[in-house]
Structure 1
């Protein structure tokens, strides 16, 4: 279900927005800078500072994740169910190791969340739909607008 393009977008997005449901039924959004594709059916993220997200998922494991590459002006909406994995589990160790390599030895990490993806829907800018835009041209245009230089883009 999760193909190479979806992997590219999750990696390039750098920030994925996770939507959960509070006990009173109201929506809750939380940004996640730790989202990574685990395999062809799962995306994982770490609870770094989101006790509300964990509480919501404990009560109701349904969620939606939006990953959008702001330069490409497109992304994906992933819908699924979460399971929570504590320290010492293979999912937690895998994701925590990546976070420590990326951010240093003191980076906080509580529970890992593994999301089984049930449905994927593309998100595209009207620039593609109505303007017939080319992805390379959009990346160049938005890189220029945000004043992102080439070596900064390579880091993304």
Structure 2
């Protein structure tokens, strides 16, 4: 069974950002938001290195990473743990791994390299309300609460 199954893939599609945690040579953590990322296959996630010198340096020293993402409206997501390595543009494998990222950015950003993460474990992330108030907490109630907190409204529905 794939670690990056359909529910993980669907949650990733609904998440705007992910957060990549790395550790430096001294053992100090670093968490950095990543806007351009994708699930590449059943075992790998790719992250564009657009402006990530600290993440790149940390991965070169210690490849262990944690990548987390949450749909801010439903307030559910996943934590992916694994090991990462950097692929430079001149690497023959770069084009294949970078393809989903390049499709996302077009000409908007320059991708300096790709961080390829081999996922070894996946865990669910859920807002505490789902656990502490399961009888009254639904995805719909979480969306309504988030929309109120963020002061946003649903997009108008298109007519067929």
TM bucket, shorter chain:
0.7 to 0.9
Partner SS, residue 119 of structure 2: strand
Q: 1:97 aligns with which of 96, 103, 108?
A: 103
1 CA distance for matches of 2:46 and 2:7? Answer: 17
1:44 aligns with 2:50: no
Alignment gaps of 5+ in structure 1: none
Q: How many residues align structurally?
A: 149
Instruction: Compute the displacement of 1:151 (Å).
Output: 2.1
Partner of 1:20: 22
Tell me whether 59-68 or 86-95 shows the greater mean CA deviation: 86-95
Give yes or no for contact 1:23–1:59 (8 Å, CA) kept in 2: yes
TM-score, normalised on structure 1? Answer: 0.88
1 CA distance for matches of 2:77 and 2:127? Answer: 9
Partner of 2:140: 136
Give yes or no for contact 2:38–2:100 (8 Å, CA) kept in 1: no
Alignment gaps of 5+ in structure 2: none
Q: 1:68 aligns with which of 52, 70, 92?
A: 70
Structure 1 ranges of 4+ moved more than 6 A: none
Give yes or no for contact 1:85–1:92 (8 Å, CA) kept in 2: no
1 CA distance for matches of 2:111 and 2:124? Answer: 30
2 CA distance for matches of 1:15 and 1:25? Answer: 25
Which structure shows the higher helix fraction?
1
